[in-house]
Amino acid sequence: MTDWGLPDELLSDAMLLASELATNAILHTLGVQFLCGIGLVTDECLRLEVHDHDYSGTSLPRYEPGPEDESGRGLLLVEQLAASWGVSRSVLTGGNAVWATLTTPDHAVGSRRATSRGCQPRIV
C-alpha cells in the first residue's frame, strides 16, 4: 500500500479497519478461513473487504458495549473511520463480504470522510 502514494493517515486507518474486519471474521463466524482484499478504486478511494464462510445468512448484530467492556467496538470504529461500509453475500465464499471504503483526507467533511463519486460501494 505504501507504493500507492497514499497519505500516512489513510494507510493507518486502512490497517486498523483491515484488522477490525479480520478480527470480526475470526471471532464471530464458524469458518476457519477468510479472504482479505485491499485495492484502489480511484486515486482517492481505497476499498477493504473480508470474505468469510458464514452461511447462516444472518446480518451483523448491533452491539452497544458498556463502559467496562474490553471488546465490542470494532464495527463502531469501522463506522466512524469509513466513508461507507456494509455487508453483502460473497460471490467468492458464499459467506459474508464485509467491506469498507476510505477516501483521502482531501475529501473529508467534518469528522467523517465524504463518499466521492468515484468511491461508491460495489456489489461483491
Per-residue pLDDT of the chain (124 residues; tens, 9 = 90+): 778 888 888 999 999 999 999 988 888 777 778 889 999 888 888 999 999 887 776 655 566 666 665 655 667 888 889 999 988 888 888 788 889 999 887 654 333 444 434 465 454 4
The total of structural domains in the chain comes to 1
In a domain, 106, yes or no: yes
In a domain, 99, yes or no: yes
Q: Which residue has the cell 483521502?
A: 104
Question: Hey, what's the cell of 73?
Answer: 467496538
In a domain, 89, yes or no: yes
In a domain, 66, yes or no: no
C-alpha span between 124 and 122 (Å, rounded): 6
Q: In CATH, what number is assigned to the domain containing residue 57? A: 3.30.565.10
What is the phi-psi region of residue 57: left when phi exceeds 0, alpha when psi lies from -120 to 50, beta otherwise? left
